[in-house]
Structure 1
Amino acid sequence: MYQVLFCLTDQHDWRLVVLGGAVCLLASAAAISLFHRARAASGSARLVWVALDAVVAGCGIWATHFIAMQAYGPGAGGAYNIPVTVLSLLFAIAVTFIGLSISVSTTHRGLVAVGGAVVGTGVAAMHYTGMMAFEIPAHVGWTTGTVTVSILLGIVFGSFSLHVAGRGDSLSNALAATTLLTVAIVSHHFTAMGALELTPDPTLVISSLSIPPTSLSILTASAAAAILVIALTAAVLDRRAKGEIGRQQVVLDTALENMSQGLCMFDAEGKIILFNERYATMLRRSDMQLTGRVLLDVVREEAAKGQWNGEPEQFFARLVEDAREGRTTTDVVRRFDRSIRVVNQPMQGGGWVATFEDITEWLEAQAKISHMARHDALTNLPNRVLFHEQLEQGLRRAGVNDQLAVLCLDLDHFKDINDSLGHPIGDALLKEVGRRLKATVGKHDTVARLGGDEFAVVQIGRSEEAAARALAGRLVEVISAPYEIDDHQIVIGVSIGISLSPQDGSNPDELLKNADLALYRAKADGRGTYRFFETGMDARAQARRLLEMDMRAALQRDEFQPYYQPIRDVASDRVVAFEALLRWNHPHRGLISPINFIPLAEETGLIIQLGELVLHAACADAATWPDDIGVAVNLSPVQFKNPNLITSVTDALERSGLAARRLELEITESVLLQNSEATLTTLHELRAMGVRISLDDFGTGYSSLSYLRSFPFDKIKIDRSFVSELATREDSVAIIRAVTGLGRSLGIVTTAEGVENDAQLELLRREGCTQAQGFLFSKPRPASEVALMLERLRLLASA
């Protein structure tokens, strides 16, 4: 130790020692800065930065050595072998490159320290190689112990230097690492110089390849300048890089904090590297220290507070294993009554990034959309889609002895209610019907609204047909009970068609089709009842479809024409009018009665076209008759709802030239069940034109004296059902007597339909009936025979 101190104090020029130390400090600072930059890079960029760092560090070590050698007193008379001097520089750069490469390429602190030790070895390699280049007229010897200490100082301080630098690029770490590297170089050099022993020998000759100290000073100065330039360049680059990193950090921080998702990054050991505030808020970890903590510890802490369900160790182990295996996982977890989707994405080099998205509202919206797609918006009952699915499930679950029934329901006269009272009342009625249906069926049965006023029920698990019959009977009774909606008392009915599995079908489509066929049969049989599917219904439905197609074709072929039946004045026995009755003259089936096609025409809407045809033809035909004979045309309820009815009547009168007083329009009581205000307005408009209005089929259906009070009808037509029983039933006579008396009191003409014999005519005359029509006078005949009918009836009256 004394030898080292003596060498340093008595054999060195302190001015050059300070210079060498300054160069060493500058080179060390540049080397540590470049070390951090190299660690931040990757791939080929990292190799470039390591190489640059090795050059700076190597040149610094070399320049420090030779500046210090210039400060060494005995060195004044010596020289330096050029090849060996250059070799010492290459040794310094090469060994330093190896050490830096080891430290830069790993995060393991032990290996980082090993790399620092290699750099320290490079310091020793450079020094003793450089000393081999020192030529002086003396023999060079070394103190072995001191040499060993010098090498250990370089290795130990070099190791500590990169170990500290590897902990991070903070200012404190950078200053400490720079100081330690400077100490490694300086302590090694001056300790090694203390180990030097020179024995003068004037016979030793300096070789021709040596360079004098003056020239070496220039070379050393150049090396120092190169270090300064490289260090300055590295500093500028590092400053720019840090500035760019800083800007990127600001962008990254801004992006992280403005993400709608939570984000957390973990290293290979599961430690939290970074996270955003959204993550902390979403998982309610804002009050916890997170950075640098292992996720397992965080989860254990939450488990202790009762905020975590499950085993923390098992959960953490799965995450780490997935990251190591490179698996991306997606889970939906429930935290604090929220649904959070977690995606764990493994990172290169270990660790993973987890993103957290609160999908509570999204899941609720999806559930709502799914519910809306499978449920009726008005009644919240299953719709056709869900009904079909549940019917399929019921068929799959049904056992060998189980029976499944499908009931199709259609509300009777719902359209009349909807049109007369408005859609809000209609909607409220549908909701109430749905509620009653749901309350009536069994807990395992399914009720659905298929659309409009159509409902369906699936009855499961009953072994007898009687169960379906009993349910249908209850439904007819429950649905037909009066409703009280917005101060309106409403009465409707329901028609039901029933199909049974397995006998009527084994799949949903077949069962629904057959139940629908049974429903048509129930409606055809008078509504307000139920019918089971029977073999042959499908054939009748096919026939119905064919008839509809044939009817549409018949309209194009002009196969429809009006026939006329005379209406006689009972008192004078003269013809006062003809009723126009539509007939279909089919080219293959002959004359088709209205009873076979009029109901279908009303269902399909074809009645509007047929009504137009009859109205125009009747007016045109009547215009050719005597002026005192009128024509009566029936208007169906469907036709009466046509907003163009007034226009159609006006057009028919104008085209034919028929006087309005000669046209009589017959309506049934069902027309008056529609929107009463609009109906009465239309009737008054027709009456104002001069057209006469007749109330047909009086005494049946929904007859009410209020109709006669609300509108001044020109005629009441007594239904044929009362006329046919005049001779056998006293109550029929009483009804006719009452109606004719009512007609006389109100000044309304009364016409009896279906008169077939003289006895009936005599009774009608005796009871004061005004007019009569029926087969007694004539069957309906085409327009070409009206003149013959008038002549024949005139002869009969005069006979």
Structure 2
Amino acid sequence: MYQVLYCLTDEHDWRLVALGGAVCLLASSAAISLFHRARATRGSGRLVWLTLDAVVAGCGIWATHFIAMLAYGPGAVGAYNVPVTLLSLIFAIAVTFVGLSVAVSTMRPSLVALGGAIVGGGVAAMHYTGMMALEIPARVSWATGTVAASILLGLVFGAFALHVAGRRESLSGALGATVLLTIAIVSHHFTAMGAVQLTPDPALAISGLSIPPTSLSVFTASAAAAIIVIALVAALLDRRAKGELGRQQIVLDSALENMSQGLCMFDADGKIILFNERYAAMLRRTDIALTGRLLVDVLREEQAKGEWQGNADEFFARLVADAREGRTTTEIVNRSGRSIRVVNQPMQGGGWVATFEDITEWLEAQAKISHMARHDALTSLPNRVLFHEELEQGLRRTKSGDQLAVLCLDLDHFKDINDSLGHPIGDALLKEVGRRLKATVGENDTVARLGGDEFAVVQIGRSEETAARSLAGRLVEVISAPYEIDDHQIVIGVSIGISLSPQDGSNPDELLKNADLALYRAKADGRGTYRFFETGMDARAQARRLLEMDLRAALQRDEFQVYYQPIRDVASGRVVAFEALLRWHHPQRGLIAPISFIPLAEETGLIVQLGEFVLRSACTDAATWPDDVDVAVNLSPVQFKSPHLITSVTEALTASGLDARRLELEITESVLLQNGEATLTTLHELRAMGVRISLDDFGTGYSSLSYLRSFPFDKIKIDRSFVSELATREDSMAIIRAVTGLGRSLGIITTAEGVENDVQLELLRREGCTQAQGYLFSKPRPASDVAMMLDRPRLRASA
């Protein structure tokens, strides 16, 4: 120890010793930094960093040695053999490379320390080889114990240096490892220099392959310092880049862990490289080691627990094959009651990325949307789209000899209920109708709501027409039964049209069309019944459509004309009024009877325009008649529901100048059935204007004396059906006697329609009927014939 201290204090230049220590510290710092870079890198990049680290560390050791040798003053002039000097550099780099490789390739602390010890051995190998390069006129001998101590110091401090560096990459760890590596190099060198013993020998000469120590030391120190500085700068730049990458990695990791999807990355062999927690939680694999494991092993482990079904090897082989062939695959798997969509996307260079998305709610939403698109929102019955599909499937399923029936249903007078009681009641009624229909049909039959109050049924698998007839009869009975909805008792009927396959059609559209034609016939025949399709119905429907087209065109071509039929006072025989009646002069068909087009006009809504035309024409014509002759105009139930009725009457009276008291509006009892309060309000408004109101066809509909009490009618018109049988049926006579008596008691005029002979007129006069009209007096005639009808002589009394 004394020899070492003596050598260090008395045989060295401290200025150069300080320079060598600085170079050593710089080299150690660069070496530790490069060591960390090598540990953080994989593949060929690690080899690059290891080589650079070995070069920097070896050059640093070599430069430190020769700077320190320049500071050594043994008292004789010497030189260095160039080949041996270069060999010492090669030893320094090679042995250091081996030690760093051992330390970098493992995470075990003992092996990392072993790598550091090898680096310390490299320091010794470089030092003693470098000493062999020294040529001096003296014999060199060594103190064996001191040599051993120097080697041991290099091994121990080298092992500690890399052990500290390998524990964690931090500033304190890097500083500690740098200091320990510097101590390993410096302590070895100066201890080894203390072991040197020189015996002068002038006979020893310096070879020609030598250079002076000063030149070599300055050159090597400068070159080594440059290499070290470059390496240190590279390490610092790499550290900064790695730091930026680390920050980006943190951001990417955060994004990965906050994905709504699960993600797992596999290499070309199917080994799990990367996954996020969402993946592990979604597939319930949080308790399984995943990183670095083959997917097939994970599947086998789950299969053993009963958590995965299927052949793991076949499934895994298919995934690997798809990835290698560049195929993207998508599948839906069920896991713990959840539906998960898996997309496997191949990666360049092999392997694939699998994304896992929980689509349970999405599938439920899609199913709901699909259900809404194919079902009625109110009743949840199939809608027209699904009904059409079911009908197509039914036609395909029907076997030879089987029969398929299509029933189209329409509720009778549903609009009246909807208007009078409100849409909520109407909706509740439709839902109850749908429930009754579904409960009545067979389990293989389909019930659908086509829209509004239209329903349809497909009856499958019956071989006889009687099955469809039986079902239609049950439906009429069930739907017509009273309903209790929100304290309202509602009675409603249903009309049904039926078409049969194959005789009435072999495709859905044809069957629906023919069933609809049969439905139209059921309505025309009085509603509340059913009708089967017949061949002639299509022709009648075509004729009806043509008539509707002609009817619309007739309004534009002014083909309508108002005719008038006189109403006479029974007692005096004087004409007291004319009833305005509409006639249609068709250019090809001639005069078309009202019974042929008035119902169609009411159904299509054209009756409103026709009614306004009659009202305007009648007021204009009546304004030219004597003041004691009135005009009567019929109001259709459809026309009466128009919100513009009061305005139309007012405008007609104003435009014509006719006194309102001379206008008589005739309504039927069906008008009183629709929205009673609103109807009475409209009637009172008309009466307030001075217009008189007549109740037409009394006794043929839903007659009730409450009508006469709720509104004071000016006139009651007795229907022609009672008048025609007046002389032959006692009950007709009794009805007329009752109505005329009622009129006298209430002060209401009574008018008998359809009087065709003197016998009928005499009986009406005897019973006290006030007025009469009919063919006995005149047929309806154009306005130009009114003067002639007024000038006819008074009727003479019958014998």
Same fold (TM over 0.5): yes
Aligned to 2:604: 604
Shift of 1:370: 1.7
Aligned to 2:147: none
Cα–Cα, structure 1 residues 181 and 272, in superposed 2: closer, same or farther, change >3 Å?
farther
Q: How does 1:313-462 map to 2 (within 5 A)?
A: 317=316, 321=320, 325=324, 328-345=328-345, 354-462=354-462
Cα–Cα, structure 1 residues 462 and 85, in superposed 2: closer, same or farther, change >3 Å?
farther
Contact 1:323 1:351 in 2 (8 A): no
1:227-265 Cα distance to aligned partner (Å, 9 max, x none): 553454245435533542443344335434544344556
Cα–Cα, structure 1 residues 552 and 58, in superposed 2: closer, same or farther, change >3 Å?
farther
Aligned to 2:692: 692
Aligned to 2:276: 275
Aligned partners of 1:159, 1:359: CA distance in 2, in Å? 56
Shift of 1:183: 11
* Counterpart secondary structure, 1:578: strand
Aligned partners of 2:529, 2:775: CA distance in 1, in Å? 34
Q: How does 1:114-263 map to 2 (within 5 A)?
A: 134=133, 136=135, 202=203, 205-207=206-208, 210-226=210-226, 229-230=229-230, 232-234=232-234, 236-263=236-263
Contact 1:11 1:74 in 2 (8 A): no
Contact 2:138 2:204 in 1 (8 A): no
Shift of 1:482: 1.1
Aligned to 2:747: 747
Find out whether 1:614 has 2:614 as its counterpart. Answer: yes
Aligned partners of 2:72, 2:353: CA distance in 1, in Å? 58
1:429-463 Cα distance to aligned partner (Å, 9 max, x none): 11110111011011111111111101111111111
Cα–Cα, structure 1 residues 255 and 637, in superposed 2: closer, same or farther, change >3 Å?
same
Aligned partners of 1:400, 1:639: CA distance in 2, in Å? 52
Cα–Cα, structure 1 residues 769 and 75, in superposed 2: closer, same or farther, change >3 Å?
farther
Shift of 1:719: 1.4
Contact 1:76 1:213 in 2 (8 A): no
Aligned partners of 1:730, 1:665: CA distance in 2, in Å? 31
Contact 1:497 1:531 in 2 (8 A): yes
1:582-616 Cα distance to aligned partner (Å, 9 max, x none): 11111111111111111111111111111110000
Aligned length: 778
Contact 2:568 2:772 in 1 (8 A): yes
* Counterpart secondary structure, 1:433: helix
Shift of 1:632: 0.8
* Counterpart secondary structure, 1:495: strand
Cα–Cα, structure 1 residues 241 and 757, in superposed 2: closer, same or farther, change >3 Å?
same
* Counterpart secondary structure, 2:768: coil
After the TM superposition, which of the residue ranges 650-659 and 326-335 deviates more from structure 2? 326-335
RMSD after superposition: 5.1
Q: Which amino acid aligns with 1:767?
A: E
Aligned to 1:310: 309
Contact 2:80 2:133 in 1 (8 A): yes
1:8-52 Cα distance to aligned partner (Å, 9 max, x none): 999998999998788567545534533544676799999986786
Aligned partners of 1:779, 1:76: CA distance in 2, in Å? 162
Q: Which amino acid aligns with 2:761?
A: L
Contact 2:611 2:635 in 1 (8 A): yes
* Counterpart secondary structure, 2:505: coil
Q: How does 1:18-29 map to 2 (within 5 A)?
A: 27=27, 29=29
1:161-199 Cα distance to aligned partner (Å, 9 max, x none): 9999999868899899989999999999999999x9999
Shift of 1:321: 3.3
Shift of 1:334: 3.9
Shift of 1:206: 3.1
Shift of 1:766: 2.0
Find out whether 1:595 has 2:598 as its counterpart. Answer: no
* Counterpart secondary structure, 2:515: helix
* Counterpart secondary structure, 2:448: strand
Aligned partners of 1:32, 1:324: CA distance in 2, in Å? 41
Aligned partners of 1:756, 1:96: CA distance in 2, in Å? 137
Contact 1:497 1:530 in 2 (8 A): yes
Find out whether 1:715 has 2:718 as its counterpart. Answer: no
Q: Which amino acid aligns with 1:244?
A: E
Q: How does 1:104-119 map to 2 (within 5 A)?
A: none
Aligned partners of 1:21, 1:618: CA distance in 2, in Å? 129
Contact 1:323 1:345 in 2 (8 A): no
Contact 1:84 1:132 in 2 (8 A): no
1:704-751 Cα distance to aligned partner (Å, 9 max, x none): 221111111111111112222222222111111111111111111111
Aligned partners of 1:701, 1:570: CA distance in 2, in Å? 26
Q: Which amino acid aligns with 1:449?
A: R
Aligned partners of 2:166, 2:462: CA distance in 1, in Å? 80
Cα–Cα, structure 1 residues 734 and 797, in superposed 2: closer, same or farther, change >3 Å?
closer
Cα–Cα, structure 1 residues 69 and 351, in superposed 2: closer, same or farther, change >3 Å?
farther
Shift of 1:509: 1.7
Aligned partners of 2:128, 2:467: CA distance in 1, in Å? 110
Q: Which amino acid aligns with 1:206?
A: S
Q: Which amino acid aligns with 1:310?
A: Q
Contact 1:70 1:76 in 2 (8 A): no
Shift of 1:651: 0.5
Aligned to 2:728: 728
Cα–Cα, structure 1 residues 461 and 165, in superposed 2: closer, same or farther, change >3 Å?
farther
Aligned partners of 1:352, 1:703: CA distance in 2, in Å? 84
1:393-438 Cα distance to aligned partner (Å, 9 max, x none): 2222222222211111111100000011111111111111011101
Gapped regions of structure 1 (runs ≥ 5)? 142-149
Aligned to 1:701: 701
Aligned to 1:507: 507
Contact 2:60 2:225 in 1 (8 A): no
* Counterpart secondary structure, 2:399: coil
Shift of 1:697: 1.2
Aligned partners of 1:29, 1:220: CA distance in 2, in Å? 19
* Counterpart secondary structure, 1:536: helix
Find out whether 1:758 has 2:758 as its counterpart. Answer: yes
After the TM superposition, which of the residue ranges 265-274 and 771-780 deviates more from structure 2? 265-274
Aligned partners of 2:96, 2:752: CA distance in 1, in Å? 127
Shift of 1:366: 2.2
Contact 2:449 2:455 in 1 (8 A): yes
Contact 2:341 2:358 in 1 (8 A): yes
Q: How does 1:477-556 map to 2 (within 5 A)?
A: 477-556=477-556
Contact 1:448 1:457 in 2 (8 A): yes
Aligned to 2:476: 476
After the TM superposition, which of the residue ranges 54-63 and 543-552 deviates more from structure 2? 54-63
Aligned to 1:562: 562
After the TM superposition, which of the residue ranges 75-84 and 518-527 deviates more from structure 2? 75-84
Aligned partners of 1:701, 1:734: CA distance in 2, in Å? 17
Aligned partners of 2:720, 2:426: CA distance in 1, in Å? 35
Shift of 1:99: 11
Aligned to 1:779: 779
Aligned to 1:144: none
Cα–Cα, structure 1 residues 374 and 225, in superposed 2: closer, same or farther, change >3 Å?
same
Contact 2:52 2:231 in 1 (8 A): no
Cα–Cα, structure 1 residues 640 and 513, in superposed 2: closer, same or farther, change >3 Å?
same
Aligned to 2:675: 675
1:453-510 Cα distance to aligned partner (Å, 9 max, x none): 0111111111111111111111111111111111111111111111122222222222
Cα–Cα, structure 1 residues 165 and 291, in superposed 2: closer, same or farther, change >3 Å?
farther
Contact 1:570 1:771 in 2 (8 A): yes
Aligned to 2:768: 768
After the TM superposition, which of the residue ranges 510-519 and 411-420 deviates more from structure 2? 510-519
Cα–Cα, structure 1 residues 538 and 649, in superposed 2: closer, same or farther, change >3 Å?
same
Q: Which amino acid aligns with 1:754?
A: G
After the TM superposition, which of the residue ranges 54-63 and 462-471 deviates more from structure 2? 54-63
Contact 1:499 1:514 in 2 (8 A): yes
1:548-585 Cα distance to aligned partner (Å, 9 max, x none): 22111111111111111111111211111111111111
Find out whether 1:648 has 2:636 as its counterpart. Answer: no
